[in-house]
A = this chain, B = another copy of it.
Amino acid sequence: MTPLPSPVGQPLHLIAADEARRLLREVAPVGTEIVPIDRAAGRVLATPVFAPENAPRDRLSAMDGFAVRSADLTAASPEQPVPLRVVGTILAGTTFDGVVGPGEAVAIVTGGVLPEGADAVVMIELTRLPPDAPDAVWVERGPTAGANLVEPGEDFVAGAEVLAGGRRLRPTDVAALAAFGVIVVPVFRRPRIAVFSTGSELCPPDRTPRRGQVRDSNSYVLAAEIESAGGEAFRSPVVEDDLSRLHETVARLLATHDGVILSGGSSIGPKDLTGQVLGALGAPGVLFHGIDIRPGKPTVFARVGPKPVVGMPGYPTSSMVVFEAFVRPMLARLGGEIGVVDFPAPGRVRLGKAYEKPISREDYLRVRLVEREGEPWAEVVPGGSAAISNVLRADGLVQVQAGITRVERGEWVGLHLL
């Protein structure tokens, strides 16, 4: 008969979710490069950007109207409008090079540079154009000095920090770079992460599985997740449950990448090889094996020098939760991002059913969003960790932290959108 291996190995030594986060945060950016601003959105700024000049540079009109001397117009009223002589027009991109004298005005568009002599702009709606005098304007209410102007440096003073180092640039951030004439920027290099699945039961997706086999899907998901987190993913073929093949693969990939993520094989049992392999790669080695969370407990994290190696749980739900809550923030740090909230849940929703859990554990509920009477509710998606269907149906995750044992139905909880 077949020899009987024990399916039970060493129990996991779970660490608290907060401690796992602390250890994962201790990775450092992988380097920098220069990119044109055309390709800067989504990248992480490596150094702060300071304003090289005031913005705006000049005193500008905030309105379509007339640049005037406010002292001329103190008596203006709709019944007794004050006539001014229009001595020029400032259109977009043009300036008026003369001086506005007493009794004079210059037509000006929004954003036009205020001409010398003028100290305010009167908006077009408070003026009338007399029918018989083409170069005159009547002002029905005078502006105070400084009215309807944008002052130099009102948006940014020269020397002020415009964008902080470590910020992941949004599309709108590019406006600040272009407006200041910054056409290339130093950004952190995208971390190059190798990814593969382990397990003798796995076959590639383009093969028909034999009985007992399943197709590898996790390496595809992880590669897409890594890319969505700002990394560059390099997918590698499935590795069977074999200590030396696994060791050789991780060591080889680690030599040519900034980190390695492998899927499956991290729970305790006859197939638990990841922990052994990661422990034998080099210092500091395994930093934790097992997090006190649900789902996602059998997660292993090691560092070899500065390079992270993560063993992800093989179940789709567990893998997704661990990626969003732990690996994504780690990759953000590896990509140079600063001030990343670990697991951002900026908005609140009402939880659709009461939920209980042990006090030490941190749980992640897969939820669907529904609106009821104008309020957002999060309905917990049923289904086990092994299923794919519940991952597809979830709109987001709700984190129930350690220290909490019960959330009541209808309680407001933080939502992390997927």
Contacts and interface: CB of A to CB of B under 8 A. Distances in A.
A347 B392 contact: no
A225 B174 CA distance: 10
Interface in A49-75: 55-58, 62, 64-65
Contacts of A309: none
A389 interface: yes
A107 B7 contact: yes
A200 B235 CA distance: 50
Contacts of A113: 211-212
Interface string A229-252: 000000100001100000000000
Interface string A1-27: 111111110000000000000000000
Interface in A372-397: 375-376, 383-384, 386-389, 391-392, 395-396
A366 to B, nearest CB: 10
Interface in A64-100: 64-65, 86-95
Given A4-B107, A124-B8, A179 B388 contact: yes
Nearest to A371: B346
Contact of A386 (B8, B111, B270): B111
B41 A224 contact: yes
Given A93-B213, A174-B221, A175-B391, 16 more contacts: A1-B87, A2-B88, A37-B205, A37-B220, A38-B223, A38-B235, A56-B214, A94-B200, A155-B389, A162-B392, A175-B221, A175-B388, A177-B217, A178-B220, A346-B347, A346-B415
A173 B2 CA distance: 39
A283 interface: no
Contact of A270 (B7, B91, B162, B173): B91
Interface residues of A, number: 116
A150 interface: yes
Contacts of A206: 181, 183
A181 B201 contact: no
Nearest to A221: B175
B55 A7 contact: no
A119 B78 CA distance: 94
Contacts of A135: 1, 4
A269 interface: yes
Contacts of A170: 418
A365 B387 CA distance: 41
A392 to B, nearest CB: 6
A131 interface: no
Contact of A199 (B93, B176, B225): B93
